[in-house]
Structures are given as C-alpha cells and as structure tokens.
Amino acid sequence: MTAGGTPARTHGRTTRRRPVAAGADSYPRRPWLTALWVPAGVLALPAGGALSAFGGWWYLPGLVLVVGGGIGLLTTLVLLGAARVLRALTGTLLIAPLIAVPILSYHATQDTVLAHRGVPHRGTVTQVQVSHGKTTTYRCAVRYEDQPAGTHGVECNEYDHAGEQVRVTADPDGWVEPQFTDLVEGSAVARAFALMAEGGLLAVSLALALLGLLHHAWRTRRTAPLSG
C-alpha cells in the first residue's frame, strides 16, 4: 500500500491455477500402484471358479475369490477411470466377462480332472429333475450298469429324458461331480474357451486402466500452475 492509499504494484509474474476438475480429490494418490490390483482381480476370478469345481468346503474360498476379485477389479477401474465415459465403459464391457470367466473356469477344471482321473460308466437316466429360478437347470439321476444299487446325479439339459442310455465319467474319489463322457472328451475345448475369456478380460481391464491413467495425466497437466 502506498502513502496515497493506492495498492502497491507487485513486481514479477503472478501465478494462476486453472480450476481443479470435479472428483480430482478422490483420485488415487498413487494411480500406478493402484493399477496393480487389475491383474490380481482378474486372476482371482478363474482361481475362484476352479476351486468351486471341487465342491464341499472349497465352495467358500472359491466364492470369496470370485466375489472379492470382481468387486476389487470394478472398484479399481472405477477409481482409475475418473471420467464418466470411462466408468460407463467399465460397467458395459465387464459385466459379461465377470460372470463368464468363473463359470468357464469351473467347467474347464471339472472336465480336466475327469479327463485325467475319471472312470467311465454306462448307465440309464431314471429321472430328470427340473429347477426353476433365475435360470432353468436340469439334473439327471443315472443308474450305472456296474453299480445298479443306486443312482448318481449328473448335470444335464432339456434334451435328456428318462430311459436314455448314457455314458458318465466319474472321479473315483469324488473330487468333482460326474459329467457326461462326451463333454469330458472335449475338455481341451473347455480349457481353450476359459483361457480366451480370461485373456480377453485381462486385455480389456488393462486397456481401461491405461485409459484412466492417461486421462488423469492429461487432466493433471491442464490443472498445473500457469505463469502469467
């Protein structure tokens, strides 16, 4: 302030800052470190599906891995993709793979175990049980020719019927549920589909994470202090 009451002129350049975009404060402080959760979440999904194939107490850790991996992956990508369009892409592109990967891994594991350890049985379908929920499922009761004392449950479909002659492959120690032999013989195809789904999910997730990181770097550069 000068003696006459007028503001004193400051020498040098003043620093201006562009307004910070909304949501910037919620962005991870170490985004590249946060991005490491992407492959971890993707790997947890097939691991959980594979564990669930063994049934019994293995369902619990399998379910934890699937749910935790899915939630962790979505949360990570939403945090990294601060732009609305990236968050919309995350939800659109990942919903189907998040469901498909554990299921494909479950069946691939079941078929692989039976292909290596299973014992084939000829038998007859005695009953088809239909369950109606969010989806319709079918389960066949099969009486083995070499074990006529009881029946064994096998997952089947609407084309199977009582009296049908079938071949079933079962694990002698009951590690996994029995399966129709023709499906077990195609275990290589099941593994290929599972690997393709896992690879696709990983590629899409990494691409979304990279887009989020690049968008954050661009936004940070725009909001950096300017001299003038």
Distance of CA 182 to the CA centre of its chain: 27
Rg (CA), the chain: 28
pLDDT the model gives residue 82 = 67
- The per-residue pLDDT for 73 is 93
Rounded alpha-carbon distances, angstroms, from residue 224 to 43, 193, 211? 37, 47, 20
**Residue type for position 140:** C
**What pTM did the predictor assign?**
0.77
Average pLDDT over residues 22-46: 79
Percent of the chain whose pLDDT exceeds 70? 84
| Least confident among 4-8, 26-30, 61-65 | 4-8
- In the prediction, which pLDDT does 86 show? 78
| pLDDT exceeds cutoff 80 at 122 | yes
Residues in the chain: 228
Asked if residue 61 has pLDDT above 90, the reply is yes
* Section 144-153 average pLDDT: 89
Average of pLDDT values for 203-225?
Answer: 80
Paired tokens of 87: 């968050």
Give mean pLDDT, residues 37-53: 95
Average pLDDT, the chain: 84
Q: Is the pLDDT of residue 227 over 80?
A: no
Looking at the chain, the whole-number percentage of residues with pLDDT higher than 90 is: 56
HEC string of the chain equals CCCCCCCCCCCCCCEEECCCCCCHHHCCCCHHHHCCHHHHHHHHHHHHHHHHCCCHHHHHHHHHHHHHHHHHHHHHHHHHCCCHHHHHHHHHHHHHHHHHHHHHHHHHHHHHHHHHHCEEEEEEEEEEEEEECCCEEEEEEEEECCEEEEEEEEEECCCCCCCCEEEEEECCCCCCCCEEHHHHCCHHHHHHHHHHHHHHHHHHHHHHHHHHHHHHHHHHHHCCEEEC
8 A C-beta contact, residue 79 and residue 25: no
Model confidence at 171, pLDDT cuts 50, 70, 90, reads very high
Q: What is the pLDDT of residue 10?
A: 47
Contacts of 175 (CB under 8 A, 6+ apart): 54, 113, 117
109 or 16: whose pLDDT is higher?
109
Predicted pLDDT of residue 18:
45
